[in-house]
Amino acid sequence: MIFFKLNIVLIGFRGTGKSTVGKILSEQTGLKFISTDDEIERANGKISEIVRANGWGYFRELESRAIEYIVREEIDNAVIATGGGAVMNSKNVQNLKKNGKFFLLIADKERIISRIRDSDRPSLTSECIENEAWKILNERLPTYLSTADYIIDTTNLTPKETAEKIKEIMKKLSAKNDS
């Protein structure tokens, strides 16, 4: 097992590879993998049904509770994949920054659309996927950029290559903090 002392927090728009990369990082390092979306589904049912029944606002409340739980339980040495909108709530960012380094995974719009087109993820705006991706990404990008400690473009990387880049950064950071 590799110990980085800090959590690896993966942020970014849906379809950038947060969960896939997070699982690979977990497998390669032995670090615990936590997906806030998976935690919400485990406790409350499918996200699409939660959103359909109660709206995105309620889902975001559940997301904040999941993040508060992670912080309250003092979970460390983990890989945490957040939902795409998690960092839009500054309290979520404050909580996760206490013991985490934020990696923003980005990709070009075409790659994002191709990755999410066939998924069962609920619409964020009820617009067509192309318009929705462009609109929401433009709204969130400034917050993503200001929150990120590191940015990795996954457009032309495999999930394993992305995981390797994150491990390299964390190893350098750990070595720097140990000296």
**Domains identified in the chain and CATH numbers:** 7-178 (3.40.50.300)
More confident residue, 145 or 127: 145
Lowest mean pLDDT among 49-53, 67-71, 173-177: 173-177
Q: Please give the structure tokens belonging to residue 89.
A: 């709530």
pLDDT at 45: 93
Residue 41 in this model has a pLDDT that exceeds 90: yes
Mean confidence (pLDDT) of the chain: 88
More confident residue, 110 or 2: 110
pLDDT at 132: 76
Beta bridge partners of 121: none
Beta bridge partners of 105: 152
HSE value, Cβ hemisphere, 13 Å, CA-based, for 105: 33
pLDDT at 58: 95
What does the pLDDT average to over 13-36? 93
Cα(17)–Cα(12) distance, integer angstroms = 9
pLDDT at 39: 93
Question: How does residue 167 score in pLDDT terms, banded at 50, 70 and 90?
Answer: very high
Q: How many residues does the chain have?
A: 179
Share of the chain above pLDDT 90, in %: 64
Please give the order of strands across the beta sheet that includes 150-153: 32-35, 78-81, 7-11, 100-106, 150-153
CA distances from 167 to 9, 135, 138, 160, 172 (A): 12, 32, 28, 10, 9
pLDDT at 112: 83
What pLDDT digit, counting tens, does each position of 28-40 carry?
999 999 999 999 9
Tokens 């950071």 belong to 173
What pLDDT digit, counting tens, does each position of 52-62 carry?
899 989 999 99
